[in-house]
Structure 1
Amino acid sequence: MTKNTGAQGRSEQHKRHPSVLDNFKPLLLDVAVPLGSYYLLKEAFGMSVFAALAWSSVVPALRTVWSLVRERRTNGLAGLILVVNVVSLLLSFVSGDPRLMLAKDSGISSTVAIGILVSVRLGKPMMTAGMKPFLIKGDAAKEAAWERLMTGEAAASAAFRRKEKVFSVVWGVALFAECVARVVGAYTVPVDTMVWLGTVVMIGTVAVAMVVSGGLAVAPMEGMLAAEVEAGADRAQPEVAVAA
């Protein structure tokens, strides 16, 4: 009986104090594993693009089905990665014209961008899953403050949710702009130049999106999160005093 109680206590404590790994787990499973497996299968094991994409779709497909069947909800990140892989599989049949081959690479960016923007419209910004771990850093107090801000219990909830949407909008717009730039470049810039320029455009887009989203969303959200942590501590003190 004592052992079971102890195990249950540790379980409850683990839920209240999630580790950094717990916070990053959805991001790792839904994004890092399928993307990493694609490059591993393609580069290390010499699989074709089609085969690598197909096998790397297994995890997001299983995660999506599991969420629908067991949790009665959709898994946004896993679903998006699955859609991206399916689009990439379809585009992998396109061949012949070297400029068309360069342009089709932008299909992934456009699919991700549209998915992100649609998620904002639906009120469930998809980029939140990637941003949250960097803000709360496995801190239980920040986790609790985050939940209060997201559920409307905190005074700054409305402003916090707006910034959450801004973060995803910035990334969605940036990726869509990258898609347009690469398509235009594929048909206007010499092929040999566009081969390496496409990578430069992608890296530049990510860098700009990080800076802009950091200034417009992440920094203000960090401030609101810190203020809510302090407010939560202040609310807890009178309760402790009364109990004493």
Structure 2
Amino acid sequence: MTTNTKRANLAPLLVDVAVPVGGYYLLKDAAGMSTLAALGWSSVVPALRTGWCAVKERKVNALAVLILFVNVVGLLLSLVAGDPRLMLAKDSGVSSAIGIGVLVSVALGRPMMTAVMKPWLVKGDAAREAAWARLTAGSTRFRRAEKVFSLVWGLVLLGECVVRVVGAYTLPVDTMVWLGNVIMVVAMALGFFVSGALAAGPMARMLLAETKAARPATSASAPAPAMAG
């Protein structure tokens, strides 16, 4: 991975996490703003970045629009209610919305997280792509693991939502500003571990076995090379 690629991958994380957290404490402690005002202003940059990315790419990104919508609605509700805890709780709205969407996709038989997992397993290899298609069409175990992967992530995202909402209304606001991000990181780590053990790992092994099993048949059916001379 090149330096430019690393920077491109880290930039959104810095804007969405480092700027809101650092900005909150800077505005509240150094500038003397109220908790509500500090939370509101520290959310402006991530919201603008989301909107700018949508305009720059000239296409509607459902996830980006959802995040922007949650930020704007949460800010407006907090201004009306005057409750900074509501602004902290709103962050879980993204997780809950995505989690519910993923679980619905599993119920409909079209697991949403497959689009995220498949590129990592197929790795752009034509033989693996063909093996994936065969397994999807003929292996009940493979399709079940595919659903389990999305099911795990749907439950993890909903669980993160519940924990963050409870924390927002039971812990001090200053604590939840940084703890909310810790909860998110822990939830992601848990999701990767459990989904990998229960679904992605077994699917990778089935995919590899199917790819290897198809190679001898392909080689046998290939025409013999012409004899020189």
After TM superposition, give the deviation of residue 38 of structure 1 in Å.
Answer: 10
Identity of aligned residues (%): 50
The yes-or-no answer on 1:88 pairing with 2:71 is yes
Q: Would you say 1:234 and 2:220 are equivalent positions?
A: no
State the partner residue of 2:50: 53
Cα contact 1:54–1:89 (8 A) shared by 2: no
Please state if 1:133 is matched with 2:109: no
Cα pair 1:102 1:195 within 8 Å, conserved: yes
Bigger-Rg structure (1/2): 2
Structure 2 residues without counterparts, runs of 5 or longer: 1-7, 20-41
Question: Which residue among 137, 142, 152 is the counterpart of 1:160?
Answer: 142
Contact 2:70 2:90 in 1 (8 A): no
Structure 1: gaps of 5 or more residues? 1-31, 65-77
Report how far residue 79 of structure 1 moved: 3.0
TM-aligned CA deviation for residue 108 of structure 1: 1.1
Q: Using the alignment, how far apart are the partners of 1:81 and 1:125 within structure 2?
A: 20
| TM-fit CA distance, 1:48 | 4.5
Structure 1, residues 4-38: CA drift from partner, whole Å, max 9, x if none? xxxxxxxxxxxxxxxxxxxxxxxxxxxx99x9399
Shift of the alpha carbon at 1:223? 1.0
> What is the CA–CA distance in structure 1 between the aligned matches of 2:91 and 2:57, rounded to whole Å?
21
CA distance 1:161–1:144, change in 2 (3 Å): same
Amino acid at match of 1:187: Y
Partners of 2:13 and 2:58 lie apart in 1 by: 14
Map residues 1-244 of structure 1 onto 2, 5 A cutoff. 36=12, 39=15, 48-58=45-55, 62=59, 78-95=61-78, 96-150=82-136, 152=137, 154=138, 157-240=139-222
Q: Secondary structure at the match of 1:125?
A: coil
How far is 1:50 from its partner? 4.4
SS of the aligned residue for 2:110 comes to: coil
Structure-1 separation of matches of 2:131 and 2:185: 33
Give me the TM-score of the superposition, normalised by structure 2. 0.72
Q: How far apart, CA to CA, are the structure 2 residues paired with 1:141 and 1:61? A: 34
Q: CA deviation at 1:121?
A: 1.9
What do you get for the CA RMSD once the two structures are aligned?
3.1
Native 8 Å contact 1:110 1:175 kept in 2: yes
Do 2:15 and 2:46's aligned partners in 1 also have CA atoms closer than 8 Å? no
